Amino acid sequence: MTTTLVTLTLIAAGLIVVALAVVLITILVLLRKTLFTLGTVNVGLRSIARRVEPLQPVLADLNTELAGVQREMSTALAERRAPSGV
C-alpha cells in the first residue's frame, strides 16, 4: 500500500513538473514572438525618425519667413484701415 501511494505521488509530481514545463515553454515562445514584433516596430520608428529629422531646419526657416509675411500683411491691413487724410 505504501509503495502504491509513493508511486502515485511521484506520478502526480511528474505530471505537475511536465505541465509547468509546457506552460513555461509556451511563455518563452510567445515572448520571442513579441520580441521580434517589438524589434520590427523599433526599426520602423527609427527609419521614420531619420526621414523626419531633416525637416526641422526647413520648418524653422519657413516659420521665420511666414512671420515676416504676417508682419507685412498686418502693416498693409493697418494702412488700408487707417482713414486717409486727403
Question: Is the residue at 66 inside a domain?
Answer: yes
pLDDT 10s digits, 46-83: 999 888 778 788 888 999 999 999 999 999 888 888 77
- Of 54 and 32, which is predicted with more confidence? 32
Residue 50 lies in a domain: yes
Does residue 59 sit within a domain? yes
Is residue 85 situated within a structural domain?
A: no
Helix (H, G, I), strand (E, B) or coil at 84: coil
Residue 18 lies in a domain: yes
| Euclidean distance between CA atoms 46 and 54, whole angstroms | 14
What band does 44 get if pLDDT is binned at 50, 70 and 90? very high
**pLDDT confidence bin for 1, thresholds 50/70/90:** confident
* Residue 86 is assigned to a structural domain of this protein: no
Structural domain contains residue 69: yes
Write out the residue range of the structural domain in which residue 70 sits: 2-79
DSSP secondary structure letter of residue 54: T
Number of domains in the chain: 1
Angle 10-11-13 (CA atoms, 0-180°, nearest 5)?
65
